[in-house]
Structure 1
Amino acid sequence: MKDQDEDRSGPRAASASQQARAGIEPPTLLFVVNVGWFFISHRLPLARAARAAGYDVHVLTEVHTPQEAAVIEDAGLVLHHLPGNRGGLNPLADLGYFLRLLMRMRKVAPALVHNVTVKPVLYGTLAARLLGIRAIVNSISGLGYVFTGKSRRLLAALVISAYRWILRRPHIRVIVQNEDDAWLLESKGAIHRQQVMLIRGAGVDLQIYSAPPEPSTAVPLVVFPARILKDKGVLEFIAAAKLLLERGCKARFVLAGPVDPYNPAALSAEALERLLSGTSIEWLGQVDDMPQLYGRANIVCLPSYREGMPKALLEACAAARAIVTTDVPGCRDVVTHEENGLLVPVRDERALADALQRLIEDSELRRRLGSAGRRRAEQEFDLKIILRQTLQLYRQALEPTR
């Protein structure tokens, strides 16, 4: 359903139908995103809102299934399939990806480019600059894998150097999802502060993620809603669940997320099954109906090492579910300790187990934290707020420079 504010926050151009009647060519907006499933999960509502606001919206991404392509095209968007090298560090493969991106972008000839995630931000920005496109918006969706391990310091330094060389231009807008990321990027000289706009994640549709009463059950359901990545804290979640089961704690522990073989921090399905062997911990794999799963859950747990603004926790807030997560950038921007969830130290399975046990055994505390989370979602994370802010940024990016 279209928010009435969307039309007001788009470019001063009118809606698509009004432009057609006036004979005005709609501005072309090109999203550059690494993979189709991520675009659908995190940016499809924005693309729909942009189209309603009068943009001709194109998407340059790698789609893995016909279903992904159908979802994008059925939304009235123009899809351009771009095979990528998302998890690789092969310079020749990256060069091939960049050249394909450059040729596709030249063909589309967009007025505005919105790049999302690391490689699209770097290569999409460089391509846009080479083609003379000045309206460039970059979403840095967290500083994840590269910035979450001591062994990756060289890689992090290379990424920062690339950001510094490619992004530090006054006309290039940079969206960050939390203040920690903004501070880190600015302190490293990767961006200027005046380039930055803080937009708190992808938002959450409060109509889809309603706040059903917590299910009354003697065995609470604890859900880990994320891809099976070490950096999401999957090993700590499994270790904490095993510890609680050894203590005799009555609860169900469920992993709800797919493996991601293209991510360097991924666990394989075989490795995960070995870890779960002999336990009652369940793995559901990819779950398409997350609102229904949150409705059955009592507690949502994401012990991540670092996030931008985790969509799973925004959804948990909207669903009025108590949260246990880590005191790291992104997670602590969604959860305030003892207000709408509990924060624990990162990589600390025992502290994680203790926090989970506290909520498992205290249904009144769960209800209080969940209710506060719903209020926070309504005030800060509503999809309508995120769409309005982003479309306003598009309008500013398209304004002629003086």
Structure 2
Amino acid sequence: MKIAVLSSHTSSLFWFRMDMMKEFIRHGHTVIALGSEPEVDWKNEFEEKGIKYKQISVERNGVNPLNDLKTYRELRQFIKEEKPDKIFAYQAKTVIYGSLAAKANGIIEVYPLIAGLGSIFRGEGLKKKIIRGIMKIEYHAACKASKKVFFQNNDDKNEFINSRLINEDQIVIINGSGVNLDKFRPEPLPEKPAFLFIGRLIKDKGVMEYLEACKQIKVKYPDIRCLLVGPYDSNPSALQPEELQPFIDEKIIEYFGEQNDVRPYIKQCSTYVLPSYHEGTPKTVLEAMAMGRSIITSDAPGCRETVVDGYNGFLVPIRNIDSLVYDMRLLIKDSKLSKLMAERSLKLAREKYDVNLVNKSIMETMGLI
């Protein structure tokens, strides 16, 4: 079969969905990937994996209806020309407009993934409330045009059910995107405790809480390393370079920018920290678990799926710097606990989040095996 995989963020498509797309190919299917970034930058990268890549016009964070109409028209034309047998879509705009474009072309084999509802769904303020109302109408239409809908956590699933956006018999829960256990292998812990945050530098990821917690940690433990990996972003809540620079100048943070391979940085930490306000299921947490690291993350949608509080790490309330600092200090002082939690993280990764198990669930739902 010919399968189209749609995303509004090409690098996410390449790094987070490649295992799934390669599994499609391994079972004899053809894959076409669509993303927002130029073909000149990505075409060869995808072709080396046996995947055709095509650019579409989509603004990940924009609210201009004319631009969204252009996205819909391009997707509709693409589907008309390529005639894919099945469509897998994730990220809001490609889920919504991809599903509607498929329906306009008479395709019912559409399988969106709701990989985390963003700040629009859980934020405050009149503007977000208005946009949220519009998005609910759009999501309802997208779900009606879809055969099954994947969710990565129960909070997002319940939000859709309670808002009457979906029929319950359409819902399929999967354990995040999974993690490639052949690629992310356990590594010895460093001699001294060290912390790491990986992610887009947006405030909804909890990056400010991480920076402030590291600042407090450094007062008492100046030798403790606090690492930060990730790109600046166009999101409205994005951290600006001038906001981060003082933490770099004062040697609170070691900042490494965006990295295609995060394994060398996970290897340097003993505890992975992600105090995000909401996620689908954070892939970086799964990768850190697979490499045998204790986890501190927030008691928030998606994040709480990855940690059994007190077992393989700690759950902290969102926006709560004091709780974050408390748990970081606890793991600094108790190396045995840190090591035990790291071992339990690895156990959970193997039992629950193996990418092969996740991909099998996706393929069975889509009728590909």
Same fold (TM > 0.5): yes
CA contact (8 A) 1:205 1:383 kept: yes
CA 245–65 in structure 1, closer or farther in 2 if over 3 Å, else same: farther
Runs of 4+ in 1 over 6 A off after TM superposition: none
Alignment-derived partner of residue 264 in structure 2:
292
Q: Flag the structure with larger Rg.
A: 1
Gaps of 5+ in 1: 1-26
Task: Look up the SS of the partner of 2:75 in the other structure.
Answer: helix
Measure the CA separation in 1 of the matches of 2:292 and 2:80.
Answer: 46
Task: Report the secondary structure of 1:138's partner residue.
Answer: strand
Aligned-partner SS, 1:393? helix
Deviation of residue 97 (structure 1)? 1.6
Q: 1:175 aligns with which of 150, 157, 166?
A: 150
Give the one of 175, 192, 203 matched to 2:167: 192
Q: CA deviation at 1:98?
A: 1.4
Task: Give the distance between the partners of 1:166 and 1:329, measured in 2 at CA.
Answer: 22
Alignment partners' CA distance in 1, 2:129 and 2:336: 44
Q: In 2, distance between residues paired with 1:327 and 1:35?
A: 26
2:160 partner amino acid: L
Give the superposition deviation at 1:247: 3.2
Of 184, 201, 212, the match for 1:239: 212
**Number of the residue aligned with 1:7:** none
CA displacement, residues 301-322 of structure 1 (integer Å, 9 cap, x when unaligned): 0000011100011011101101
Aligned to 2:300, which of 291, 311, 328?
328
Q: How many residues align?
A: 367
State how far apart, in whole Å, the 1-side matches of 2:39 and 2:236 are.
22
- Whether contact under 8 Å (2:150, 2:174) holds in the other structure is yes
Query: How far apart are the structure 2 equivalents of 1:252 and 1:357?
Result: 13
Query: Is this contact kept in 2: 1:242–1:279, CA < 8 A?
Result: no
Q: Secondary structure, in 3 states, of the residue corresponding to 1:150?
A: coil
Partner of 2:296: helix, strand, or coil? strand
Partner of 1:48: 22
Deviates more, 1:111-120 or 1:56-65: 56-65
Map of 1:1-400 to 2, 5 A cutoff?
Answer: 27-64=1-38, 66-151=40-125, 152-168=128-144, 172-217=147-192, 220-248=193-221, 250-261=223-234, 263-274=235-246, 276-395=248-367
Residue aligning to 1:22: none
**Aligned AA (1:160):** K
The separation in 2 between residues aligned to 1:232 and 1:91, in whole angstroms, is: 27
- What amino acid sits opposite 1:206 in the alignment? L
Where structure 2 has 5 or more consecutive residues not aligned to the other structure, the ranges are none
**SS of corresponding position for 2:148:** strand
TM-score (norm 1): 0.88
TM-score for both structures, normalised by structure 2: 0.95
| 1:287 Cα deviation after fit | 1.8
1:276: how far off?
Answer: 4.0
Q: In structure 1, what is the Cα distance between the partners aligned to 2:178 and 2:344?
A: 17
**C-alpha distance in structure 1 between counterparts of 2:110 and 2:310, whole Å:** 40
Letter in structure 1 aligned against 2:72: F
Contact 1:300/1:322 (<8 A) preserved? yes
Letter in 2 for 1:368: L
Supply the distance in 2 between the matched residues of 1:165 and 1:231 (Cα, whole angstroms). Answer: 27
